[in-house]
């Protein structure tokens, strides 16, 4: 297990090295995109999580990269750099080794931002040196910028993600968990029964909805 954890640290260090130079924020050019998909083999411990992913990106100019790791709704680590211009296609990792020791189970959310594009990885770590539950928000769709006016808010409860206010849960099984933070529309809407719903940004081509009662 010690050897495996050392390997994880090396992998993440190499991944961070891909983004070693700083850059000023840029506007997304036409044709820019980021696609991220989970390729299996994630591992979590009391103080580390690594999620192997395949990343394809295309930027007209170098774009700033940041990654923030939230545990139980609290940011415990962050780093950043620059994503190179042109078409890039490679395997890497989301996550970090070395946050404060956690008790099980704990929820995590990794928010990775390339320029104006946001991709989130979410899930639950249940035990030491185990494979956590992993859900990457719309990993096959092109990333897109956070909609104007949306605010980053904390969730107080877990919920499936629905296709419309009072609609049906998404067939792909997306869900959010208590303790995570998401960009949401600050103006809730009501369904036919009067229940309040909040639009949530999931970085893909469409937004979903969750009960407003979960938003804090």
* CATH number (domain holding residue 25): 2.60.40.2550
Q: Domain for residue 114, yes or no? A: yes
* Structural domain includes residue 144: no
Mean of pLDDT over the chain? 79
- Is 119 in the same domain as 14? yes
Specify the higher pLDDT residue, 138 or 51. 51
End-to-end CA distance of the chain: 39
Domain membership flag for residue 142: no
Report yes or no: 46 and 101 within 8 Å, Cβ to Cβ: yes
CB crowding 172-203: b at 16 or more within 10 Å, else e? eebbbbebbbbbbbeebeeeeeeeebbbbbbb
- Tokens linked to 82: 């620059």
Q: Rounded distance, CA 97 to CA 3, Å? A: 14
Check pLDDT > 90 for residue 171.
no
Tell me: pLDDT of 215 over 80.
yes
Question: In angstroms, rounded to a whole number, what is the distance separating the alpha carbons of residues 33 and 85?
Answer: 11
In sequence order, which residues have a C-beta less than 8 Å from that of residue 13 and are 6 or more positions away? Answer: none
| Phi–psi pair at 182, nearest 5 degrees | -135, 155
What is residue 207's three-state secondary structure?
Answer: coil
What is the strand order of the sheet 106-114 is part of?
74-83, 63-71, 106-114, 117-125, 135-136
pLDDT digit string (tens) for 62-92?
989 999 998 988 889 999 999 999 999 999 9
Q: How many domains does the chain have?
A: 2
State residue 144's pLDDT score.
59
**Residue 175 and residue 108 in one domain:** no
Q: Which of 83, 102, 136 corresponds to the end of one domain?
A: 136
Q: Mark whether 97 and 9 lie in a shared domain.
A: yes
What pLDDT sits at residue 5? 37
Range of the domain at 210: 151-214
The DSSP secondary-structure symbol of 61 reads: S
Residues 117 and 78 in one domain: yes
In terms of domains, do 70 and 18 share one?
yes
pLDDT at 27: 40
Q: Is pLDDT at 181 greater than 70 in this prediction?
A: yes
The DSSP bridge pattern shows strands 117-125 and 86-97 to be unpaired
Residues ≥6 apart with Cβ < 8 Å to 62: 21, 23, 26, 82, 83, 84, 85
Query: Does 200 reside within a domain?
Result: yes
Q: What is the structure's pLDDT at 201?
A: 81
Residue 94 pLDDT more than 50?
yes
Instruction: Let me know if residue 146 belongs to a domain.
Output: no
CA distance 83 to 19: 6
Using the predicted structure, report yes or no on whether residue 14 has a pLDDT greater than 80. Answer: no
Is residue 75 located within the same domain as residue 110?
Answer: yes
Q: Which two tokens stand for residue 24?
A: 């000023």
The verdict on 26 and 119 lying in the same domain is yes
158 and 129 assigned to the same domain: no
Q: Which range, of 6-20, 31-45, 123-137, averages the lowest pLDDT?
A: 6-20
Assess contact for 144 and 189: CB atoms under 8 A: no
Residue matched to tokens 């040196």: 129
- Best CA proximity match to 123, nearest among 44, 199, 54, 215: 44
Residue 141 domain-assigned?
no
């Amino acid at each position: 297990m010690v050897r495996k954890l050392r390997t994880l640290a090396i992998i993440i260090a190499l991944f961070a090295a891909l983004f070693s130079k700083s850059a000023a924020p840029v506007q997304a050019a036409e044709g820019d995109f980021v696609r991220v998909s989970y390729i299996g083999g994630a591992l979590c411990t009391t103080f580390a999580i690594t999620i192997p992913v395949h990343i394809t990106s295309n930027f007209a100019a170098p774009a700033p990269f940041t990654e923030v790791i939230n545990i139980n709704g609290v940011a415990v680590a962050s780093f950043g750099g620059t994503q190179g211009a042109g078409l890039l296609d490679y395997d890497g990792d989301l996550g970090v080794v070395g946050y404060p020791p956690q008790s099980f189970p704990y929820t995590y959310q990794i928010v990775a931002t390339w320029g104006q594009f946001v991709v989130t990885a979410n899930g639950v770590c249940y035990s030491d040196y185990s494979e956590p539950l992993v859900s990457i928000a719309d990993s096959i769709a092109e990333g897109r910028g956070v909609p104007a006016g949306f605010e980053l808010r904390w969730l107080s409860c877990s919920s499936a993600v629905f296709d419309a206010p009072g609609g049906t849960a998404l067939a792909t099984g997306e869900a959010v968990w208590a303790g995570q933070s998401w960009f949401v529309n600050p103006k809730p809407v009501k369904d036919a029964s009067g229940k309040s719903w909040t639009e949530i940004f999931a970085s893909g081509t469409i937004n979903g909805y969750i009960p407003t009662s979960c938003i804090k």
